[in-house]
Amino acid sequence: MTEPIKITAELNARPGTHYRPETRLVHSGTLRSQFGETSEALFLTQGYVYENSAQAEARFKNEDPGYQYSRFANPTVAMFERRIAEFEGAEAARATATGMAAVTLALMGQVKAGDHVVASKAVFGSCLYVVEDYLPRFGVTSTLVGGFDLDEWRAAMRPNTKTCFLETPTNPTLNVLDIAEIAKIAHGVGATLVVDNVFSTPLWQSPLSLGADCVVYSTTKHIDGQGRCLGGVILGSEKFINDNIQVFLRQTGPSMSPFNAWVMLKGLETLGVRVRQQTDTAAAVATALDKHPKVSKLLYPGRPDHPQAKIIAKQMKGGSTLVAFEVAGGKAGAFKFQDALKLVRISNNLGDAKSLITHPATTTHQRLKPEQRAELGISDGMVRLSCGLEHPDDLIDDVLNALKAV
């Protein structure tokens, strides 16, 4: 067939917002060509050609709706953005090269010198670096708050507070912050709220519906879910994305590659079944660890003994694919346990089909001072288990056997 590829609206007209979320994860955003391919095409191209000079001119004047350059937009990336936006209930989304690119852009895109940012201390280490070290270099001051105490958020607000940032459930302690209440506090001074929703996944928590203005993901985690590609995404209203993100992304260039977008797009199709299964497994692991003599503390969102069970009940639709627990014997106990695992591998990553274990105090949170870790509840014996897609009984056997080494 020699006819040029045309994206045909007729073949794509089926998905709609009336479908249930799982259906949207499979169908939304598909741009099918006239060849009628079942799986979405990978448009692995940097640029686009124009039929004539007038079309090139019109494209650059935004009078002809087409693609110009893949740093700005690409059909495969657009399919991923549309699909995740429809699932999240967001008007718009922009995909980025990594999760950190998404967080950096979501914050930097909103502020200018003289502005102020309030963030929870319990965020991923690199996010903390952006808020604490990087923004102040450009004249943007920041205040870090403990997170749970709403009065601390209230007290931190200033007339020039432009945005607030939090992560919930938190890494690695799986504590939960009240998105709706913090959004109200931010809006009270005209600030926005950005939520890093990585630990809950789009399946279990919808920050925009709770009042947040922007949601960010490292799609590297559950959205890929099989350890292949890095990626990130920023979601919000058309206005939020147009005012803060679109131009910054286009001009500074942390865009997602079409190949990675294609992997993420296919990842979304299985996100629902994977995250449900991984969550059920994590709940089963938590039950197996409950009152275990070698486990001094257990944190699992979804259990009635979780310290923020009331907030979880009002803002989350499901638990977590992760379990955090404290192994008896501090660092030595945690190391003995991790090294005795046969199936679960030691890694700092999460959300993968393969179960992974992390000792935060010596890896992801090693940069923090001991007193900062203590404040966040990250003890020397704490480990974070990301449950994969193995049979839950094999995982439980592995964990219980390894605890015998402690």
Whether residue 130 contacts residue 111, with contact meaning beta carbons closer than 8 Å, is answered with: no
For ligand PLP, the closer of residues 98 and 315 by Cβ is 98
| Nearer CB in complex with ligand PLP: 103/185 | 103
Q: Are 377 and 147 in contact (CB under 8 A)?
A: no
Candidates 95-103, 172-180, 271-279, 296-304 — which segment interacts with ligand PLP by CB under 6 A? 95-103
Q: Which of 85, 93, 100, 105 binds ligand PLP (CB under 6 A)?
A: 100
Strand segments (E) across 17-128 = 92-96, 116-120
Instruction: Name which position in 99, 147, 377, 388 contacts ligand PLP (CB under 6 A).
Output: 99
Q: Name the residue with the smallest CB distance to ligand PLP.
A: 99
Closest to ligand PLP by CB, 232 or 333: 232
**Gap between the Cα atoms of 93 and 81, Å rounded:** 5
Per CB under 6 A, 220 contacts ligand PLP:
yes
Contact status: 81 vs ligand PLP (CB under 6 A): no
Is residue 124 a contact residue for ligand PLP (CB under 6 A)?
A: yes
Determine if 379 is a binding residue for ligand PLP (CB under 6 A). no
> Which of residues 30, 76, 110, 171 is near ligand PLP by CB under 6 A?
171
Q: Does 233 bind ligand PLP (CB under 6 A)?
A: no
The residues near 167 (Cβ < 8 Å, ≥ 6 apart) are 120, 122, 123, 124, 127, 177, 195, 196, 198, 199
Tokens encoding 128 = 């903390």
Tell me the residue type at 300: Y
Q: How many residues bind ligand PLP (CB under 6 A)?
A: 14
Examine residue 167 and tell whether it contacts ligand PLP (CB under 6 A). yes
The sign one gets for the Cα dihedral 235, 241, 245, 249 is: positive
Candidates 29, 109, 207, 232: give the one binding ligand PLP (CB under 6 A): 232
Report the C-alpha gap between 17 and 24 in whole angstroms: 8
Secondary structure letter of residue 348 according to DSSP: S
Q: How far is CA 69 from CA 29, 74, 81, 243, 301, in A?
A: 20, 7, 16, 21, 43
Q: Which of residues 234-293 bind ligand PLP (CB under 6 A)?
A: none
| Least distance in angstroms from the C-beta of 299 to ligand PLP | 16
Which of 223, 328 has the CB closer to ligand PLP?
223
Residue span binding ligand PLP (CB under 6 A) among the ranges 19-27, 66-74, 97-105, 147-155: 97-105
Which range of residues in 5-13, 96-104, 233-241, 257-265 is near ligand PLP by CB under 6 A?
Answer: 96-104
Asked if 215 touches ligand PLP (CB under 6 A), the answer is: no
Q: Which of 51, 50, 94, 99 is nearest to 74 (CA)?
A: 94
Backbone angles phi, psi at 356, to 5 degrees: -130, 145
- CA 13, distance to chain mean position in Å, is 29
- Judged by CB under 6 A, does residue 165 bind ligand PLP? no
Q: Which range touches ligand PLP (CB under 6 A), out of 27-35, 92-100, 152-160, 178-186?
A: 92-100
Closest CB to ligand PLP among residues 216, 403: 216
| Min dist. Cβ of residue 405 to ligand PLP (A) | 28
Find the DSSP H helices in 89-177: 99-108, 125-129, 135-137, 150-156
Residue in 86, 88, 115, 196 binding ligand PLP, rule: CB under 6 A: 196
Q: How far apart are CA 183 and CA 168, in angstroms?
A: 13
Helix, strand and coil percent figures for the chain, each rounded to 5:
40, 15, 45
Helix/strand number for the chain, H first, E second: 16, 12
Between residues 15 and 125, which has the closer beta carbon with respect to ligand PLP?
A: 125
Query: Which lies closer to ligand PLP via its Cβ, residue 95 or residue 127?
Result: 127
Residues that bind ligand PLP (CB under 6 A): 98-100, 103, 124, 127, 167, 171, 196, 198, 218, 220, 230, 232
